[in-house]
Amino acid sequence: MHTWGAIFDWDGVIIDSMNAHKESWEQLARETGKVLPPGYFETSFGMKSRKIITEILHWTNDPEELKHLDWRKEKLYRGVIRASGIEPLPGVVNWLKTLRTAAIPCVIASSTHSRNIQCAMEIIKLDEYFQGMITGENVSHGKPDPDVFLLAAKKIMMPTDRCVVFEDAHVGIEAARRAKMKVVGVATTHPTDTLQDADRVVKRLDELSVKEISEWF
C-alpha cells in the first residue's frame, strides 16, 4: 500500500508561469482600458482569476462581464505560453521520477483553468506522472478554502492525513493546513522565510527524499 499521496499545485510548483500570467493580465488591462493596481500580482498569486478580478482588481461584479474577462484572460495566457514556450521548474522531473519509482500516487490540484494546464502539458509532456487533476472549475470556492485539495485526495483515494501538498503560494499553504494535510512550501514565488507555515520549505523539489517525507507518517 502507498504510504502517502502527493498533491501538486501547478503554477510556481511544476512550471514557472509567473511572467506569462503577468503578461496576460497586462494585455487584458490594455485591451479593456482597466487599471492594474500596484502590488496586485504578488497579492493574487494562487487565486482563481474570477476572485482576482472581483476582490483584488475590483474591476467588476457583473456576472456576464466577469465571465468574459475570466475567459479572455486565460485565452491570452495560453497564447503567451504557446508563443514563448514554458518549462518545468528545476528539480521537478527528477522528483516526479523518484515518486513514480516509489509508487507514490500524484495528482494536480490548482486554481488555474484545466485548459491552461492541458495547454502547458502539451508543451512539457509530464502527464504520464499524474493520476489526473482537480482545477478551479471543479470547486465553488478557491484557495484558501481547502476544497481543491480535498477533491484531489479523493482522486488518488488517499485519506487527507496521508497527503502531502506541494505549494508555492500563501493561500495554498493555508488551504493545505485547513485540509489537515502536510505541506511542503516551494520557494519559487515567495521568499523562504515567508513560508514558515509549511512543514518543510525547499527551493527545488529534488531536495526532498521519499524516505524523509515517509517519516512524517
What's the mean pLDDT in 103-132? 94
- Which pLDDT band holds residue 7 (cuts at 50, 70, 90)? very high
Model confidence at 208, pLDDT cuts 50, 70, 90, reads: very high
Q: pLDDT by residue (tens digit) across 148-178?
A: 999 999 999 999 999 999 999 899 999 999 9
Q: What is the pLDDT of residue 151?
A: 97
State yes or no: pLDDT of 182 exceeds 90.
yes
Confidence grade of residue 187 (pLDDT, cut at 50, 70, 90): very high
pLDDT > 70 fraction of the chain, expressed in percent and rounded: 99
Question: 103-107, 108-112, 143-147: which has the highest mean pLDDT?
Answer: 103-107
pLDDT at 28: 93
Tell me the pLDDT tens digit for each residue of 13-24. 999 888 898 899
Rounded Cα gap, residues 159 and 97, in angstroms:
23
Helix (H, G, I), strand (E, B) or coil at 186: strand
Cell of 71: 475567459
pLDDT value for 200 = 96
pLDDT of residue 18: 84
Task: Judge contact between 49 and 118, C-beta under 8 A.
Answer: no
- Is the model's pLDDT at 104 over the cut of 80? yes
Give the model's pLDDT for residue 2: 64
pLDDT tens sequence across 24-52 = 999 999 999 999 988 888 887 767 788 89
CA dist 203 to 5, 74, 90, 167, 212, Å? 21, 27, 9, 11, 16
For the chain, the domains span 5-15+87-214, 18-84
State the pLDDT at residue 115: 92
44 Cα distance to chain centroid: 12
Residue spans of beta strands (DSSP E) within 121-214: 133-134, 163-167, 182-186, 200-202
Statement: the pTM of the whole predicted model exceeds 0.75: yes
Planar angle of CA 215, 3, 128, nearest 5 degrees: 120
pLDDT class for 141, splitting at 50, 70, 90? Answer: confident
Q: For 5-15+87-214, which CATH superfamily applies?
A: HAD superfamily/HAD-like (3.40.50.1000)
| Mean of pLDDT over the chain | 92
